[in-house]
Amino acid sequence: MKGLHNFLEKKVKPKFAPKEGKKPGMAYWVYDSLETFLFTPGHVTKKGTHIKDGIDLKRTMFMVILALVPCLLFGIYNTGHQYYLGQGLHTGVMDGFGDKLAFGLMKVLPFIVVSYGVGLGVEFIFCWKKGHEIHEGFLVSGMLIPLVMPMDTPLWMVAVATAFAVLIGKEVFGGTGMNILNVALVARAVIFFAHPTAISGNTVWIHADTETIKVAGEDGKEVEEELKLVAHVENGEVGVEKLWKNGIIVNVDGEKVGEIVDYELTADSEVNAFTGETALGYAASTAKYQKSINANLETIESNKEVIAELEAKGSLTEKEQKILTFVKDQNEKSLAKNKDLEKAQEVQMSRVPETEEAFVGFIPGSIGETSALCCILGGLFLIFVGIGSWEIMLSMIFGGLAMGYMLNAMDLNPFTDMDPVRQIMLGGFMFGAVFMATDPVTAAQTRTGKFIYGAIAGLLAILIRVVNPAYPEGVMLAILFANVCAPLIDHMVVSQNIKRRLKRTKVKAA
């Protein structure tokens, strides 16, 4: 390594070094970033140091990337696993290992290339214009952005979101170390609010082959529709049909053979389609059903009062008799509908993975977020090397559990009744707790503040997830909100410490 370093210093660096009296160009800063990534920087502090440590920012970022490796590798394999599962092939976890790994690499690597290519390109341009060395902050953000995206998100959206996140989320605040919002979450938020259907719903979490066929439109004329090929089970036989974009499964002739659970009740349907819906999507639908159940119950109670009032009269006119018959019939229909809705809730909840399955992570979801096990392994590594904040990780987990138990006590619907441990294993909660909330730039800095900050993120993540069924994943918004609150939390903690010290000083002086 010493020979390589000498070669770079004597033969390569002089070709990029600026001439005397001139500012370094972009080529020099690119070379400098690569050299200092491989070797300890030659820069020294000239006016005294506060902390002496052998690790610099590049090494810190590299450790975080190492911690992300389990999530990345698992995400690559799970991408392939979900694809083949959706086609009714290689349904066992380890079946077709090579095929799944190859397909996962083919899908995930372009995300990484686009993320780093666009993000670093923006960084290089800013360094060139401002005349300073390249900041290393995007080394981690460039890996986090692909891992928080669904595998079928269009690459151009990832590129636009990445450029926006670097420009507006970081550079306008002064660059690395100055941003107040997590860059990777800003990128995800851009796509979520600008193109919500590309990052949510029930067709973006797995990749499926598509085919365009002609179907009858609303006006009777034939129109072309893009269909996704999905696996289904019909009378015990696995087959592949086409999924129409509005939730109807059709066969090769365009004839309807089933419906997606998320759109219609199919508790008794013979066709059970593999939709690729996430666990939280299934759970959130039970809250929607519960609203319909509650509305029907209100109607039933109101009708009971009318029935009691009419029956108390004894003799009824012909008109009153018709009203009584109609109201009773309406109640019977409402009760029957509630039974169907309750059965549908059971069906949907049965599709939500159990705690153990969610912990391992072979389920649909964003590329790197599905495995709580891999997130925990990465978190333990970060704590071991002294980079990750265990205070934030632990407090966010406890905050999520606390909100889960509070919602259990409210007993509103099957989603609020879900086991809190199962709640935090699903979705991106563990990934957010380990890799997003712990961002040292956007998180709270004081030790007490870290506990408060993490607790706020955990409480809000579960609250948004469960209470708002239209958005069954609250981790992104919860952490972004906590990012905004972090300076205020630190200010309050420091202010309280100053007040306590002033009181001690006054007591000693007295």
Q: What is the pLDDT of residue 355?
A: 92
Task: Examine residue 6 and state whether it is found in any structural domain, yes or no.
Answer: no
Q: What is the pLDDT of residue 151?
A: 85
Phi, psi of 255 (to 5 degrees): -85, 140
Q: Which of 249, 273, 297 is where one domain is finished? A: 273
> In the predicted model, what is the mean pLDDT of residues 348-362?
89
Q: 371, 381, 348: which is closest to 472 by C-alpha?
A: 348
> In the predicted model, what is the mean pLDDT of residues 217-239?
55
Residue 303 and residue 247 in one domain: no
Task: Examine residue 27 and state whether it is found in any structural domain, yes or no.
Answer: yes
Residue 69 and residue 35 in one domain: yes
Q: What is the pLDDT of residue 175?
A: 78
> In the predicted model, what is the mean pLDDT of residues 110-138?
82
Task: Examine residue 164 and state whether it is found in any structural domain, yes or no.
Answer: yes
Is the pLDDT confidence value at 283 over 50?
A: yes
Residue 33 and residue 159 in one domain: yes
Residue 160 and residue 217 in one domain: no
Counting the structural domains of the chain, the total is 4
Q: What is the pLDDT of residue 439?
A: 92
> In the predicted model, what is the mean pLDDT of residues 478-496?
95
The answer to whether 78 and 90 are in contact (CB under 8 A) is no
Task: Examine residue 4 and state whether it is found in any structural domain, yes or no.
Answer: no
Q: What is the pLDDT of residue 265?
A: 31
CA distance 438 to 385: 14
Is the pLDDT confidence value at 28 over 70?
A: no
Residue 330 and residue 183 in one domain: no
The answer to whether 103 and 97 are in contact (CB under 8 A) is no
Residue 193 and residue 221 in one domain: no
Is the pLDDT confidence value at 235 over 50?
A: no
CA distance 110 to 157: 13
Is the pLDDT confidence value at 245 over 60?
A: no
Residue with tokens 């759109």: 263
Task: Examine residue 384 and state whether it is found in any structural domain, yes or no.
Answer: no
Q: Is the dihedral of CA 93, 272, 414, 400 positive or negative?
A: positive
Record the tokens describing residue 92, joined without a space.
């066992």
Model confidence at 363, in pLDDT bands (50, 70, 90)?
confident
Is the pLDDT confidence value at 203 over 70?
A: no
Q: Which of 224, 252, 273 is where one domain is finished? A: 273
The answer to whether 427 and 364 are in contact (CB under 8 A) is no
> In the predicted model, what is the mean pLDDT of residues 500-504?
85
Tell me the sheet residues that pair with 212: 226
DSSP 130-142: HT-PPPSTHHHHH
Residue 105 and residue 191 in one domain: yes
Model confidence at 346, in pLDDT bands (50, 70, 90)?
confident
* CA neighbours closer than 13 Å in the CB half-sphere of residue 6: 3
CA distance 482 to 505: 34
Q: How far are the Cα atoms of 79, 130, 166, 344, 506 from residue 174, in angstroms, in the given order?
A: 37, 11, 11, 52, 41
How many CB atoms lie under 10 A from the CB of residue 197?
8
pTM for the full model? 0.79
Record the tokens describing residue 2, joined without a space.
């010493």
Q: What is the pLDDT of residue 322?
A: 87
Helix, strand, or coil (residue 235): coil
**Non-local CB neighbours of 90 within 8 Å, separated by 6+ positions:** 81, 84, 96, 99, 100
> In the predicted model, what is the mean pLDDT of residues 228-234?
51
**Non-local CB neighbours of 25 within 8 Å, separated by 6+ positions:** 16, 18, 128
Give the pLDDT confidence of 370-409 residue by residue, as tens digits: 999 999 999 999 999 989 999 999 999 999 999 999 999 9
Q: What is the pLDDT of residue 403?
A: 95
Q: What is the pLDDT of residue 483?
A: 96
Give the pLDDT confidence of 135-171 residue by residue, as tens digits: 677 889 999 999 999 888 899 999 999 999 999 988 8
Q: Among 26-30, 284-288, 478-482, which stretch is predicted with the lowest mean pLDDT? A: 26-30
Residue 468 and residue 395 in one domain: yes
Q: Among 127-136, 409-418, 448-457, which stretch is predicted with the lowest mean pLDDT? A: 127-136
Give the pLDDT confidence of 435-462 residue by residue, as tens digits: 999 998 999 999 999 999 999 999 999 9
Is the pLDDT confidence value at 306 over 70?
A: yes
Residue 88 and residue 220 in one domain: no
Return the top range by mean pLDDT from 223-227, 279-283, 293-297, 347-351: 293-297
> In the predicted model, what is the mean pLDDT of residues 38-58?
60
Residue 284 and residue 266 in one domain: no
Q: Which of 247, 273, 299 is where one domain is finished? A: 273
Give the pLDDT confidence of 58-114 residue by residue, as tens digits: 778 889 999 999 999 999 999 998 888 777 778 788 889 999 999 999 999 999 999
Record the tokens describing residue 305, joined without a space.
């009062």
The answer to whether 202 and 260 are in contact (CB under 8 A) is yes
Is the pLDDT confidence value at 244 over 70?
A: no
Range of the domain at 447: 389-497
* CA neighbours closer than 13 Å in the CB half-sphere of residue 178: 12
Residue 97 and residue 158 in one domain: yes
Please give the DSSP secondary-structure letter assigned to residue 12: I
pLDDT averaged over every residue in the chain: 80
Q: Among 107-121, 200-214, 306-320, which stretch is predicted with the lowest mean pLDDT? A: 200-214
Phi, psi of 454 (to 5 degrees): -65, -40
Record the tokens describing residue 377, joined without a space.
């392994």
Task: Examine residue 368 and state whether it is found in any structural domain, yes or no.
Answer: no
The answer to whether 298 and 377 are in contact (CB under 8 A) is no
**Non-local CB neighbours of 498 within 8 Å, separated by 6+ positions:** none
Q: 161, 166, 147: which is closest to 189 by C-alpha?
A: 161
CA distance 69 to 75: 10
**Non-local CB neighbours of 18 within 8 Å, separated by 6+ positions:** 24, 25, 28
CA distance 507 to 304: 71
The answer to whether 395 and 453 are in contact (CB under 8 A) is yes
How many CB atoms lie under 10 A from the CB of residue 359?
18
How many CB atoms lie under 10 A from the CB of residue 258?
21
Task: Examine residue 295 and state whether it is found in any structural domain, yes or no.
Answer: yes
Residue 177 and residue 89 in one domain: yes
